[in-house]
Every structure is written in C-alpha cells, then in structure tokens.
Chain A
Amino acid sequence: MRDQIAKYSGRLLSDRSAVPGRISFAAQDDVLLTDGDPELARLAGEVLFSLSCLGMVAALPSLPFADFLVRRAPAGETRIVPRDTETRTFLHDIPFLRREELGGDAAARIARLLGNRKGVIAEGLGIFANGPVTVEHAYINYSSVFHAVFVKYLLDVLAEGFLLPGEKEAFEGFRRDWLRPVSAEGLPFRSGPLEDPGEILAEIAAVGRYTVERGLVDSFFGNISCRAGGVVYISQTAASLDELPGRIDPVPMDNSSTTGITASSELLAHRRIYEASGARTILHGHPKFAVAMSMLCEEKDCPVKDCWKDCDRVRLLGDAPVVAGEIGAGGLAKRVPPVIASPRKAVVYGHGVFTVGRTDFAEAFRAMVALENWCREEYFRRLAEKFSG
C-alpha cells in the first residue's frame, strides 16, 4: 500500500488541494502504516486504528475556506451543509471540530465523527477523510470535501461578504496566487470524425487527462464519451479521467449487450444527448465556478424548495442553459438533452457541465473551458458589484 500512499500524496500536490508538507496518510492491512507530516500522520494513524476502514488521509487544505466556514458557522453548529449535488448525494454534510474541541484526545473525537461520515474538518489541522475500501477511496473523500467546501465558500462569500478578520486578504490571495487561467492552449486534439476504435480510445484517454490537468473536475471524476456508428465509447463509472486506458466501455446504442453495466452513471444522459443533438463527442466535468454559479437564482417567492432536482425552469449562465436534475436515472438525463443541441453546452444545477462536439473533442473541451472562464469572471464581477466600496 506504500505505492498507493505515494501516488495519492502526489495527487494532492498536483491538484493543489493540500499544502505541501502538511499531507499525511495512514493505511492498515495487518499492520498500520503512516506516512507524511509527523503530527498529522500520528493523528491519522490513531484515528484509523479505531475505525473499520483501510485508509485515511489527513491534510491541510491549500485554501483556508474550510476553516473560514467553521468560524463563520453559528455557535453551537457542528456541521456545514453544502448544497451542491455531490454533497447532497454522497457526503450529506460535513461535520467539524472547532479548534477548542481539539485539545486532549483529538483523535478520538475525530474518529467518532468519521465513524458516521466520509470527511471531517478539524479547524487548524485540516480535512480528515476515511477510505473504507482503499487509499484511493480516502483521497476521493478528501477531494469531495475540498470541492464541496470550495463551492460553498464561494457562494457564502457572494451572499454575505467577508465576516472574519483576514478573510478578505486571504480571498484576494486565493484569486491572485491559487487560481490559474483555465485554457485549452497547447493541447493537441485529433480531428474528427473519429471512426477507428483504437483512435477513439486513445483520444478519450488523452482528453480525459486534459480535463484533470486543466482543473475541470473535482478530484478526477467526470465522464467522457465518443459515438461512432452504433457504439458509444464511454468512460467507466468511478474511473479517474486521467487514467482511462482499459477503463472505457464500448456500449452498443441498441443495448444488445450489457457489458457496459460498468459504464459511467451518466450513460443514459450521454445516449439521449447523442440522440437529441447528433453530436459525436460528449464531455462532462465539474468545474468549480460553473458549479457555484449554477446555484445562483434571482427568482423571488419561488415555491420550489429543492431547486437542484425539482426546478423545471431553464435559466442561463451567459449563453449556457442551466437545468436541474439528479445524477444517473435521477432526472438529469431527461432535462439536459432537450436544451443542449443548439448551444452545445449545458449546466446542471449544482453539479457540472456537459459540452458536446460535432465531430471531435476539441470543440467540447474548448466550450467547457470557455464556460468555466465566463463563470469565473462573472462570479468576481458580481462579487465586486455587490461589495465594492
């Protein structure tokens, strides 16, 4: 498991979600292994030892948003509840421990919370996430918490402004130093239409990797497909988009084989998008600003409470339609296909972005980049408009 720890330590660095030097992992087989920052590693090991899980990550996030959310939370509150779809679906909520609760036996307190949830914020120490099955599982849970916290903090700041000493400066530092331009520059794409299965698999693998490298996903999740003839080549469920070779399912459009039972949970959406749009490629990612902006709604006195699944309106982010809908068979596959054909892009409330290409992936990838950049600019424009002066 040492190789897994090394791999996912490297990922926390490459995706810039944790502070270098403040990363630790623990894993238990018949012995307990710990690695990384000594203080965090000791805690991670103690926490893991008391849990029935294989892996654990404890790391200080590269952004202070988690701690800010804890400090912004009312006294007596014990958890934050991000409203993005990933959190609603998989995390439910994120419990936290304030700094003053971490004296004495911090490991026991963290373990108690992690016995019920996938990730915990320990103020000043970092995010602790468990991996019931693998070390990768722990990394995914860490990454999901990081993503959820990121999106919630953007929205909270836009709604309420800065409330804490040092918060504004830290946010400016985030914008200046942490954020990097999102672009498709320098990326080679094969020209379509793609017909040869070998070429299609290679291109899906390459574009999946671009999607992760250019920060258009949370952790490494999303999905990608290409249609050729009567077959949809689609990434498998729970596949790292930057490790797709061997993890792409060819699925007959006529459902004459069920080998694709391991395909992405969005297979149905992809199929319907192909049917509705005539596209040849589809890309689905979770770019953070698009996710955050999709959750802003100006509607007043709206009777819909669970906007993310029940809203039947089509709103716009620039020229991109925004629709509601849960993952998989939960509605997204019904609402996205009717709106995506013409703009060749669509945003799912609190979830992510679908873009399509008429012949190849270049168009889909560039559309996703452009949409995320538009959302980022629009976010900061609204923030400035609301709080300038």
Chain B
Amino acid sequence: MSDQKTIVLKIKRRADQESPAYWEEFEIPYRPAMNVISCLMEIRKNPVTRDGKATSAPVWEMNCLENVCGSCTMLMNGKVGQSCATLVDNLTQPISLEPMSKFPTIKDLAVDRSRMFANLKKIRAWIPIDGTYDLGPGPRIAERDRQEAYEFARCMTCGSCLEACPQVSEHSNFIGPAAIGQVRLFNSHPTGAMTKEERLEAISGADGVTSCGNAQNCVKACPKQIPLTEAIAEMNRDVTLYKFKQFFRGK
C-alpha cells in the first residue's frame, strides 16, 4: 500500500449508548470519485485497523445511496451531511467519522432519530382526507405555490438541521426546524389549511417555534436547501396570530 494513494479514516466506535466511545483508524486504497460510504464498504470487506488489528466492521445506516432517503447522515470532519453524497476528494485527511451528537447512539455511526418521527405525529403532518375511495381530483393549486410547497415536501427527516441547531440537545425538547417546515407545508395546502390550528397549537408551546434562537444554522446544514428559516419566521407569525385570536376568543 506504500506506493499507492490511500485514504485514512478515523472512525468513532461505540458498542452502544452506555459504552465508552473510542477511535479506530483505517487505511484503504484511493479510487477516483469515492464517496464516504464506499470507504465504509471497503472497510467492511476487510475490517482491519491501520495498525493491523482485526476488528469488527463499523455499523452505520444507509439505504438509497443517492441522497434521497436520509439514512446515512453522520459527522464527517465534524460537519453534518449524508455520507453517500460526500466525496472523499472534498475532505481533508485523515477523515473523521462520528455519529450525530444530538441523538442517542445506537452503535458506532448509527443513531436513534425516532424523536423526529414522533414529532411528525405531534404536529399532525398529514392531509386529513376523508378516505381513499374515489372522490375525484384534489384542489387546484397554482404552480407558483406548488413550487414553494415542493421545497418543504423534500424534507427526508435526515436530522442535519437538528444536529446543526444550537437549541437542540439531548436535554432540550425543542421540536426543531424540520418539523416546523412540515407545519408550513401542510398548513399551506388547501385541504391541510382546514386544520392548520391543530398544527399551530402543536408548535405553540415552550418546545415549539418560539424556542428558535435564530442562529440560522439549519438552513445552511439542510442538504436539500429547504428554506427552513423562512418557514420558522412564517410559523412564528402564524402562531402569534393564532394565540392572539385565541386570547380574544377567551380560550
């Protein structure tokens, strides 16, 4: 391997949430256009550390490998992103790989993002259709509005925005930018708008939209460039209005 170009990776290992973390280094042959996942795939074919010690292959999550499923999010050289869409050529070596820090570690690079899905339940992130029987076409939507909504509809619940957000931690229950973006999405749909108060209510508490500290990290971290800060601003306004109306209705 000496006269061959190689890639050195430092991977943070952890047997489970209760166990201490430790680092292992790996060295693999370089190939052009490699992404981080193909490095991990290379390691699992021969799980031996850089100093020749046999070990187990690191555990990580992946599925689509083209940046639409959201599975493979991790920290690469300290920066959050999808390991499928992160090319080795764009990283300085040694490349450090760590699990996201804002979620409980399952094992090695895999984390538990179930709270994100729980939040989608909390904000009632669906269109309340009457049923799946044939009721003809849906409401007409202007293409301009459709394009705006589509941006939010691309959220893959990857966790990048929560990882980047200073207000999110294991000790805070801030619902986070992703869910607020989904409130924006469903509340702007003609049918979804009919129950928008339910969603506003869900983000109106102490853990809701008002917990945003306006650091604007989320929008920079989002791999889909979803305008999360716009959604937060809009939802903040809508929640205020909603609360105001409630106050005058004596609720």
On whether the two chains bind one another, the answer is: no
